[in-house]
Structure 1
């Protein structure tokens, strides 16, 4: 269905909201009062308990290891890595639905899990898949907006701007402005906006790619495909392996607890009752920062520079010397280490295993495997490095590069399509839980001196 007017779009969505709701919303309506009661009980029993102490170093140093956020969908453990609703990456791969003859988890199934805590039945999975296909149509007004964006703009800028453009259709904003919604209903309208955003974001992202890099030659959606497979198709990649790569990529990057920049920003802005479009546009802007979403590009550039300098068939000894030279120059080894993890990122292992199944005789992929064995022992000899092991970025960009996506700036857009899954699930539950606006305190250098300095007042 191609919708060509805004009024027709709104009529269609009102029909969806008033008549069908979908199995996921039905399940959410069952879960919300149960989870609300559980949270009230948790606060009653543990509300006065201390979660952690905060040092001045932590306050100044990015709040590392400060546990001050409630984010129920996922948890990051320093040893075991990310779990989504208490399931780790191998378990997600095993239990979530897959494409026919595929091995990678499908994001539609993961979103059901993130929202409900349960793996979906085949009927429930198919219902989410069909609902996203219905909601995913882009009207002509939105298409014209994307195609009018200057091609010189960064693709993440284009994505952020388009999310803001789509905000005109926010159901939450409309009912809030009209005074027709009360606090217990907020989550239902956040849900509607989140489902619309998730349904549309692969099509938006693909249209941005074709506009910026492929002379505006648009590829129509194929609704016979799943959410991730259709994204690959609209980008212009139709091999089964590429679709499988994106299915896995979009699933394992979907959430990484609430403290990372994109998730925290989305949560923070949403806590002010900014609708999902406004909130995730802000999260996307954070993801565009070089210290967050650009890491896989940095890895790829570093590996390509290594090959250019050292040639083919690089020995382990040459890699060791190259690593030490990089560190002596005051640089980090991109893709190695993590703010939280202290062991190899399970998402890296997932991608390494994917490459072992599907990719043979690719010098760059082989170099990633070689670095995995060579680099950690070198980094272990440097005392200040707490985690010498690879994270997900050590492999993800190389996979996209292998399958022909050479537009490095676009890699973060793929990341943003994935991260929308976790951010939207959290926004829905934040409103369902009735979480307040986020407002931590801050301190100044004078405050620190007065509180802890030699001349502090003794009470």
Structure 2
């Protein structure tokens, strides 16, 4: 039997072996996707880190939509972001300190923490050689492989004591920007014929500034760097139930090493239904700019969005990317913050017309999707709707959109890993799957 045919035959047999009737999930009370019937997540753990609020419960247990709120260690996101915008200062390191420790740092602690981050940003020369060897690969995969390689350079990689976990966490937070910047520069050199530049991080720069410097040299403004800093803050944490953070907690519950657990989280975030969604949203925006002649004509916008929903236009998936969220109903607080940032940046970049068009797509997209689905549950734009637009205005390529998400979320991942390994009563996470296949009698190979 030819090997190619055998692969096809095995694949074809999967059609039957994977069949599970939808009604079986209801019969056995299975929460598909760990979701309740009302769409809420199944409660599987407790945390002191992040809190995602998209609805409230009535006395009868039914859901009541509410404006979305996101809390980091008990502080509402807007209360953390607004002072940074007002004071025009960088804050990602401050938020990283908060998420890791549970407390906001004072000036002395913040200065020391920033110095510690800067000390750990340079890469081992062996990691740089490894990135060069992987030229042309997907940058999320390079990131995962570099994280796994860090295990071999760690003098104490399997120690899960608090002190060692914190040391590893700080090193990962510090090194993610460098790995991503170097990986993209090497990708651009090998795939696009650009000059290869490897710039060492500078001691007097923040994470956001250093990342842009390593990526683009001096080709960025202060506002670019502050916008990236705020984007990192907004994406740093989103509760324990999002797929990648849950992946980190599940793997951490086995007491595996930090690098294996974080690599698993990277693999989860890479998926287009998770961290890769911002690329879908910005590509859709480019398509709409070309297809809609009058960016202020609501009727023209509605007509085309309805064609998309009916699978007649764009990629014919029936989706309007960036509209809707699993938890948030009336609003996604991250999208609310990003909308403000996008407006400020659009003025500097001369892209106010594009920004106003994007806001109109959000407005009409929410309306059209709600009408198409015939739902009374409020629908809102999510994080991905504006993030790609901001990345583009800063001048960042799509190849690093999802890696930047990882660069932010590594803070939340490490905070959750530390919590998973340090709360009382911890157990390995081990849910159940019910087998519904009837038992079979063994048939000797000569009789098959």
Q: TM-score range by the shorter chain?
A: 0.7 to 0.9
Name the CA distance, whole Å, in 2 between partners of 1:107 and 1:383. 40
Q: Deviations over 1:362-417 (max 9, x none)?
A: 14322212223222222332324744210110000011112222x32320000000
Q: Deviations over 1:197-255 (max 9, x none)?
A: 11111111111111112443222212111122211211114311210111001100001
**Which residue does the alignment assign to 2:198?**
218
**Which residue does the alignment assign to 2:15?**
none
Residue pair 1:85, 1:117 contacting (<8 A) in 2 also: yes
- Residue 197 of structure 2 aligns to a residue whose secondary structure is coil
Residue pair 1:155, 1:208 contacting (<8 A) in 2 also: yes
Q: For the aligned residues, what is the CA RMSD?
A: 2.2
> 1:144 offset after TM fit, Å?
0.9
Residue pair 2:181, 2:214 contacting (<8 A) in 1 also: yes
Residue pair 1:135, 1:200 contacting (<8 A) in 2 also: yes
**Which residue does the alignment assign to 1:451?**
none
Residue pair 2:366, 2:380 contacting (<8 A) in 1 also: yes
1:418 aligns with 2:408: yes
> 1:173 offset after TM fit, Å?
2.6
- Residue 75 of structure 1 aligns to a residue whose secondary structure is strand
Aligned pairs (5 A) from 1:261-340:
261-311=243-293, 313-329=295-311, 330-340=317-327
**Which residue does the alignment assign to 1:59?**
31
Residue pair 2:305, 2:365 contacting (<8 A) in 1 also: yes
Identify unmatched segments of 5+ residues in structure 2. Answer: 1-25, 55-65, 312-316, 439-448
1:352 aligns with 2:352: no
Identify unmatched segments of 5+ residues in structure 1. Answer: 1-53, 177-184, 448-459
> 1:66 offset after TM fit, Å?
0.3
Q: TM-score, normalised by structure 2?
A: 0.80
Q: 1:159 to 1:385 in 2, by over 3 A?
A: farther
- Residue 157 of structure 2 aligns to a residue whose secondary structure is helix
Q: 1:58 to 1:128 in 2, by over 3 A?
A: farther
Name the CA distance, whole Å, in 2 between partners of 1:57 and 1:379. 30
**Which residue does the alignment assign to 2:10?**
none
Name the CA distance, whole Å, in 1 between partners of 2:377 and 2:72. 25
1:195 aligns with 2:170: yes
Decide which of 137, 154, 162 is 1:170's aligned counterpart.
154
> 1:88 offset after TM fit, Å?
1.7
Name the CA distance, whole Å, in 2 between partners of 1:385 and 1:171. 56
Aligned pairs (5 A) from 1:381-396:
381=371, 382-384=373-375, 386-396=377-387
> 1:287 offset after TM fit, Å?
0.5
Decide which of 89, 101, 116 is 1:131's aligned counterpart.
116
Residue pair 1:265, 1:282 contacting (<8 A) in 2 also: yes
Q: TM-score, normalised by structure 1?
A: 0.78
Name the CA distance, whole Å, in 2 between partners of 1:102 and 1:232. 21
Q: 1:187 to 1:431 in 2, by over 3 A?
A: farther
Name the CA distance, whole Å, in 2 between partners of 1:256 and 1:268. 16
**Which residue does the alignment assign to 2:50?**
74
Name the CA distance, whole Å, in 1 between partners of 2:153 and 2:377. 47
Residue pair 1:221, 1:234 contacting (<8 A) in 2 also: yes
> 1:289 offset after TM fit, Å?
0.5
- Residue 165 of structure 2 aligns to a residue whose secondary structure is helix
**Which residue does the alignment assign to 2:9?**
none
Name the CA distance, whole Å, in 2 between partners of 1:247 and 1:113. 15
**Which residue does the alignment assign to 2:3?**
none
1:379 aligns with 2:369: yes
**Which residue does the alignment assign to 2:16?**
none
Count of equivalent residues: 380
Q: 1:170 to 1:57 in 2, by over 3 A?
A: farther
Name the CA distance, whole Å, in 2 between partners of 1:56 and 1:256. 31
Residue pair 1:345, 1:390 contacting (<8 A) in 2 also: yes
Q: 1:370 to 1:57 in 2, by over 3 A?
A: farther
